[in-house]
Structure 1
Amino acid sequence: MNTGENTMLSLKHISKTYRNGSEITHALNDVSFDIEANQLTVILGPSGSGKSTALNILGGMDRPTTGTVSYNNYDINTESDAQLTQYRKDIVGFVFQFYNLISNLTVFENVAISAQLKDKKYQDVSEYYLKKVDLLKRKNNFPDQLSGGEMQRVSIARALAKQPKILLCDEPTGALDTETSQKVFKILKDSTSKDTAVVIVTHNPLVAKIADCVIKIKDGQVEKITNNINPLEVEEVDWG
């Protein structure tokens, strides 16, 4: 349940506007919500609702037009570009829909690049997270030798290997079948801890059933925030 006691990341009155000549588009309009450690938060909304814009602002990949973004009560949207780069490097892990693996590196090397950012024992760390996603046996393969589900699990291992405080996932199962999607959601749900917050952006309302907190966004505004006291396990959801 979202109590505010473990707030890690907070958006306050965030707006994001784009100008094209005299036309102004509001991607986000006065959006406020908190992201808690030890929770899986789902940002839910249709295409074009502003949910990916919110994710980019949470991850320091974009700046709001107005409002405040704070990490552990420290305002990050007033930082320099170099400081935001450091924030992304030290604090945030990203999992995207289409994997973004480096094709000429092995599975192990893709994960090791990330692990080196945080740990001198990056080889052990890389193998640990590949084992966590059940792909240690594939560590010497290249991405084009993997299935889509395997590539997504490598991308999750890569994100986790840098031991982020915030794991941001943008439609992480959009290109996967139902069975493989369940495996991915299971890994992501199990990745929450007292030091880690996991955020999934999706248009799929079924994902909300496994979340601790669901933030519904529509037309650039928060429509509803729901705290699930008893979220379902991945295996308990009828994924259809």
Structure 2
Amino acid sequence: MLSLKHVSKSYQNGSEVTHALNDVSFDIESNQVTVILGPSGSGKSTTLNILGGMDRPTSGTVTYNNNFINTESDKQLTDYRKEIVGFVFQFYNLISNLTVFENVAISAQLENKKYRNITEKYLQKVGLLKRKNNFPDQLSGGEMQRVSIARALAKSPKVLLCDEPTGALDTETSKRVFEILKKSKSKDTAVVIVTHNPLVAPIADRVIHIKDGRVDKIIDNPSPLEVEEVDWG
């Protein structure tokens, strides 16, 4: 579905050049949970930005269903982000002056004119339909993250990109979030979780280890664990 081939990314600040990624290649498949795992500064966020069409590689190619996206115009990349990619961020990025329903409906309207039904469907899926008229500051951190997942899913993304989605949550709340994300994969949807937490790896179908801007190793897991089967320490 989504493929990086020999991708490198450099940033220049005056005379200093920082190499964030160096010759990175891997594939993302639908109906899989892929975990991109690495320590802080390893290149995970840069990789996510390139996968999501928020940044372009310095060299190499990025393809979605065999169509090159790294050479597309800014408008085409905007369309790619709007139509193909759903984002779940560490700190939720909800709009504070909109209700829970309205935060999700923004995405649902992109998918279908029957956005009210779609919005309620995904709020029910994450267990927050009863909180639809609340504002974000009336929710717990875990509830806000579940709203952000509902918002991402409401647009029926083909690629769901999750950037440290439980980094600000306690263990029990994190487990619930991972359960929702794991169930979000389908024959049409790939789920990608970017994290520094190695405890997440056993739930994934594929784990891509990144170190110092390179792919250190890729592990395919034919029998990923359910969230409740993982020893979360």
**Mapped pair 1:217 → 2:217:** no
Amino acid in the other structure paired with 2:123: L
Counterpart of 1:102? 95
SS at match of 2:110: coil
4+ residue runs of structure 1 moved beyond 4 angstroms? none
Q: Once the two structures are superposed, what CA deviation does each residue of 1:118-154 show, in whole Å capped at 9, x if it has no partner? A: 1110000000000000000000000000000000000
1:72 to 48, 65, 75: 65
CA shift for structure 1 position 57: 0.2
Q: Secondary structure at the match of 2:41?
A: coil
Tell me what 1:181 maps to: 174
Q: List gaps (5 residues or longer) in structure 2.
A: none
Structure 1 segments unaligned to the other structure (5+ residues): 1-7
1:134 partnered with 2:146: no
| Structure 1 segment 104-119 matched on structure 2, within 5 A | 104-119=97-112
- Structure 1 counterpart of 2:162, which letter? C
Instruction: Tell me by how many angstroms 1:87 deviates.
Output: 0.3
SS of corresponding position for 2:219: strand
Alignment of 1:33-44 (within 5 A): 33-44=26-37
What amino acid sits opposite 1:218 in the alignment?
K
What does residue 23 of structure 1 align with?
Answer: 16
TM-score normalised according to structure 1 size: 0.97
**Alignment length (residue pairs):** 233
Q: Which amino acid aligns with 2:172?
A: E
Report the equivalent of 1:198: 191
RMSD after superposition:
0.4
Shift of 1:183: 0.2
In the TM superposition, residue 20 of structure 1 has moved relative to its aligned partner by 1.8
How far residue 23 of structure 1 moved from its aligned partner, in angstroms, is: 1.7
Residue 51 of structure 2 is aligned with which of 58, 66, 72? 58
**Structure 2 residue 115 is the aligned partner of structure 1 residue 122:** yes
Note if 1:88 corresponds to 2:104: no
Partners of 2:27 and 2:112 in 1: CA distance: 29
| Cα deviation code 1:72-122 (max 9, x no counterpart) | 000001000000000000000000000000000000000000100111100
Q: Distance between the aligned counterparts of 2:54 and 2:17, measured in 1?
A: 21
Once residues 129 and 112 of structure 2 are traced to their aligned partners in structure 1, the CA distance between those partners, rounded to angstroms, is 19
What secondary structure is seen at the aligned counterpart in 2 of 1:153?
Answer: helix
Give how far 1:42 is off. 0.1
- SS of the residue corresponding to residue 46 of structure 1 reads coil
Which residue, 153, 171, 185 being the options, matches 2:164?
A: 171
Equivalent pairs: percent with the same residue?
83
3-state SS, counterpart of residue 116 of structure 1? helix
> Is residue 2:145 matched to residue 1:152?
yes
Quick one: which amino acid aligns to residue 157 of structure 2?
P
